[in-house]
Amino acid sequence: LGLINGIKGTFRQLVYHEESVSTEALSEMFPNNTQFIRRPIYALIEINKSKIECKLQDLEPKLIPIPLVEQTFRVDIVDILPKDKKPKSNQKTILSIKRSALPLLPAYCVTTHKSQGQTLNKVIIDLKLPNETDDIAAVYVPLSRVKRLVDLAILR
């Protein structure tokens, strides 16, 4: 399918739950300029290297829905409580925390080593090398990642 951890894609849209609660009822409790933010269900990511041949229902080709991932973990808070708030021996200090998040990481930058062997659509390169590196490969590799010169921008 061409869908693996670490694959690059382009964020296109965040899709939200349709709320059944009327904002008119809530507007009496909150100021007029309140922005109500609904809970997202999934993100639509365009993955050009996707090999999914069938079009997903109501979606453009190469658009893949990435759902939220929910994790539950436990934290013992005894060490972070102030001394005067230390629990008695029969009190529980373990909290159960549930978190929802999109399993996405922004790929706004990659190292020269990471980019080796890749052809990229558009590239912005910083040619100021750390520690006065004279390695020609450290310059050649990022410059050669694009097919066309117009897709390349050099910062310094």
Q: What is the pLDDT of residue 1?
A: 54
Task: Give dist(CA 138, CA 132) in Å, integer.
Answer: 11
Domain spans in the chain, listed from the N-terminal domain onward: 10-101, 112-154
Mean pLDDT of the region 77-95: 80
Beta-bridge partners for 125: 154
Is 5 in contact with 26 (CB distance < 8 Å)?
no
The neighbour count for residue 62, using CB atoms within 10 Å, is: 19
* pLDDT one-digit tens code per residue, 22-51: 666 666 777 777 777 778 889 988 887 776
Cα separation of 115 and 123, whole Å?
A: 10
- Residue 73 pLDDT: 92
Cβ 95 vs Cβ 74: under 8 Å: yes
- Tokens, residue 118: 């890749």
- Give the tens place of pLDDT for each residue, 91-130: 788 889 999 998 888 777 788 888 888 888 888 888 777 7
